[in-house]
Chains A and B, each alone.
Chain A
Amino acid sequence: MYQGIIMSGFGGQGIISGGIMLAYAGMIEGKNVTFFPAYGAEMRGGTANCSVVVSSDPVASPVVGSPDSLLIMNEPSLARFEDSLKPDGLMIINSSLVNSRSTRTDITAIEIPVSDLAEEVGNIKTANMVILGAYAKKTGAVSIDALKNSIAKVYLRASESMVELNKKAIDKGAEAVS
């Protein structure tokens, strides 16, 4: 299996840490993984995106040009990456913040109110976990358990209650696509 994923949104939405979590989850399941951030003059409130590859074979390039899956957390990300998605690819859109809809007819687009669901869980900062939960459930590229087990490994200073909250957010996202 090979999944090239682009996760994109505002700086501060946990795009980079979410991408690292996805890669970490793949790693503890014994897969080949890479994580590659858009780097340089990034800032909070600006755009942030990263590429993650989860694969059964060694990964050639960590740069994902044509993703198999797109995790779209804000409006500008849809316009920027929509065309790059592979035919038959999967797009998960945070409909809480994205008003536009994908015009592609050759892909699967799932709209989930990711930010609203995160607030329901108890903290809007868990929106990245919600969309990862939905992605994991939908594709099986990584398991829900592996995601949950990665939280404390990536967020090294997270308290036990924060870890629990993030686990709930992952479940919330998974439920949204069940």
Chain B
Amino acid sequence: MAERTLMKGNEAVAEGAVRAGCRFFAGYPITPQNEIPEYMSWRLPEEGGTFIQAESEVAAINMLFGASSVGTRVMTSSSSPGISLKQEGISYCATAELPIFYTNVVRGGPGLGNIAPSQGDYFQATRGGGHGDYRVIVFAPKTVEEMANFPRICYELAFKYRIPTMVLADGILGQMMEPVTFDFDPIDPSVFKTPDWALRGSKPEERRVIKSYDLRPGKMEQWNFRLEKKYDEIREKEPRYEAVNIDDADIILTGYGTAARVCESVMALGRKDGLKIGYVRPITLWPFPKSIFKELGEKVEKFFVVEMSLGQYIEDVKLSLNGKSEIYLHKRPAGGIPTGEEVLELTRKILSGDKLKLVA
């Protein structure tokens, strides 16, 4: 296995994708994810792959539609405003069941916003993103090492279920450097069997069609129910989470990505002072790991949500707890980064009965 090395998050997710067999990337620059296309521009040609700097985000996502239609492992990346531009194409990939992989290195919004780290795109990522009734699988890394290793899992699930998959990061995870060890050896894509749905040009065998709609009466409804079956299977089989110190917890701290790092360290600090803090973080944001929250809601009175947005992630926590526990929220949008000190202080207050941050 590879040696331990210091990598930037953006480069790690790009290298992770290449090692997982990605051989086509199309993208358009935007801060704070520019190192991804920069890295791909020299790295993919080394492996015989193709890098295209597209003329726009819309062009890039539609290039992915084409390249993915022949069964290639493909990737694009952008940051919030650019991902918004790609949503139409992502919706088309979702309905055509194309296994594309993309990364959103979230920055402050709405609109142009700023280039600071943010988690403001949670709803967009977990509710599909574009128009229509669809979902994409969303992984939320909390370290640069996970940025490096999640693309392989994303591709595996993308091809298993024929569904778009994404890594939802933020400006911190994209820009920071941390030690990385890859947990898999580079995969040569020639070992992949060409999928039985992939287009092959004008061969005389049976006709294969990749399309996004069926206009015959009633057919589009059936189409949606077919997609739903797949989503239900994913909801059942693919949720992933991490839960620590939950057995004796008086309070559960929860967040994802960068916010999860803060929750985790506050748990460690608080435990040293005798505070019974547990910690849960979803690794997949969709499918959301409902069951662990449901289970904990039966025995833990207080949940403290930390997010770098105005109460988006908390919606899924609420839906999962279903009114069973008190839920507190600390929010830092568009460049606000929660510090360990402030979250520990708030945790102490909540444990001593302060209701200031209570939202449900």
Chain A residues within 8 Å of B, Cβ to Cβ? 20, 23-24, 27, 32-37, 39-40, 57-63, 65, 153
User: CA A122 – CA B31 in complex, angstroms?
Assistant: 37
- Is A35 a contact partner of B265 (Cβ separation < 8 A)? no
Q: Report the contact-size class of chain B (Cβ under 8 Å from the partner).
A: 20 to 34
User: CA A61 – CA B31 in complex, angstroms?
Assistant: 20
Say yes or no for B360: interface residue by CB 8 A criterion.
no
User: CA A24 – CA B178 in complex, angstroms?
Assistant: 9
Kindly list chain B residues whose C-beta atoms are within 8 Å of the C-beta of A59: 178, 261, 265
Instruction: Specify which of A40, A57, A62 is in contact with B172 (CB 8 Å cutoff).
Output: A62
From B172, B262, B338, name the one whose CB has the most chain A CB atoms within 10 angstroms.
B172
- Is A33 a contact partner of B265 (Cβ separation < 8 A)? no
User: CA A23 – CA B179 in complex, angstroms?
Assistant: 9
User: CA A65 – CA B266 in complex, angstroms?
Assistant: 16
- Is B175 a contact partner of A37 (Cβ separation < 8 A)? yes
Kindly list chain B residues whose C-beta atoms are within 8 Å of the C-beta of A63: 172, 337
Instruction: Specify which of A34, A37, A40, A61 is in contact with B178 (CB 8 Å cutoff).
Output: A34
User: CA A63 – CA B340 in complex, angstroms?
Assistant: 11
User: CA A40 – CA B175 in complex, angstroms?
Assistant: 10
* A-B CB contacts (within 8 Å), total count: 63
User: CA A21 – CA B265 in complex, angstroms?
Assistant: 25
- Is A24 a contact partner of B176 (Cβ separation < 8 A)? no
User: CA A35 – CA B179 in complex, angstroms?
Assistant: 10
Kindly list chain B residues whose C-beta atoms are within 8 Å of the C-beta of A65: 339
Q: Quick one: which of B319-353 are within 8 Å of A by CB?
A: 337-340
Kindly list chain A residues whose C-beta atoms are within 8 Å of the C-beta of B261: 58-61
- Is B4 a contact partner of A35 (Cβ separation < 8 A)? no
Kindly list chain A residues whose C-beta atoms are within 8 Å of the C-beta of B266: 60
Say yes or no for B149: interface residue by CB 8 A criterion.
no
- Is A34 a contact partner of B339 (Cβ separation < 8 A)? no
Contacts A35-B176, A39-B31, A40-B31 hold; do A60 and B265 have CB atoms under 8 A apart? yes
Question: Of all chain A residues, which has the CB nearest B263?
Answer: A60
Chain B residues within 8 Å of A, Cβ to Cβ? 4, 6, 31-32, 115, 171-172, 175-179, 258, 261-262, 264-266, 268, 337-340
- Is B262 a contact partner of A60 (Cβ separation < 8 A)? yes
Seed contacts A23-B177, A32-B179; 14 additional CB < 8 Å A-B pairs: A20-B177, A23-B6, A33-B6, A34-B177, A36-B172, A39-B115, A39-B175, A57-B268, A59-B178, A59-B265, A60-B264, A61-B258, A61-B338, A61-B340
Kindly list chain B residues whose C-beta atoms are within 8 Å of the C-beta of A61: 172, 258, 261-262, 337-340
User: CA A35 – CA B115 in complex, angstroms?
Assistant: 18
Could you write out 11 A-B pairs with CB less than 8 Å apart? Answer: A27-B6, A35-B177, A36-B175, A39-B31, A39-B175, A58-B268, A59-B178, A59-B261, A60-B264, A61-B340, A62-B178
Question: Of all chain B residues, which has the CB nearest A62?
Answer: B176
- Is A36 a contact partner of B115 (Cβ separation < 8 A)? no
Kindly list chain B residues whose C-beta atoms are within 8 Å of the C-beta of A32: 179
- Is B179 a contact partner of A58 (Cβ separation < 8 A)? no
| In the A-B complex, the 8 residue pairs with the closest CB atoms | A60-B265, A35-B177, A62-B176, A60-B340, A36-B176, A60-B262, A27-B179, A40-B115
- Is A33 a contact partner of B178 (Cβ separation < 8 A)? yes
Kindly list chain A residues whose C-beta atoms are within 8 Å of the C-beta of B32: 39-40
- Is B6 a contact partner of A24 (Cβ separation < 8 A)? yes
Instruction: Specify which of B177, B179, B265 is in contact with A57 (CB 8 Å cutoff).
Output: B265
From A35, A36, A60, A65, name the one whose CB has the most chain B CB atoms within 10 angstroms.
A60
Question: Of all chain A residues, which has the CB nearest B4?
Answer: A27
Query: Within the complex, what minimum Cβ distance (angstroms) separates B306 from chain A?
Result: 11
User: CA A63 – CA B179 in complex, angstroms?
Assistant: 16
Question: Of all chain B residues, which has the CB nearest A40?
Answer: B115
Query: Within the complex, what minimum Cβ distance (angstroms) separates B189 from chain A?
Result: 27
Query: Within the complex, what minimum Cβ distance (angstroms) separates A43 from chain B?
Result: 14
User: CA A35 – CA B172 in complex, angstroms?
Assistant: 10
Question: Of all chain B residues, which has the CB nearest A52?
Answer: B177
Query: Within the complex, what minimum Cβ distance (angstroms) separates A54 from chain B?
Result: 12
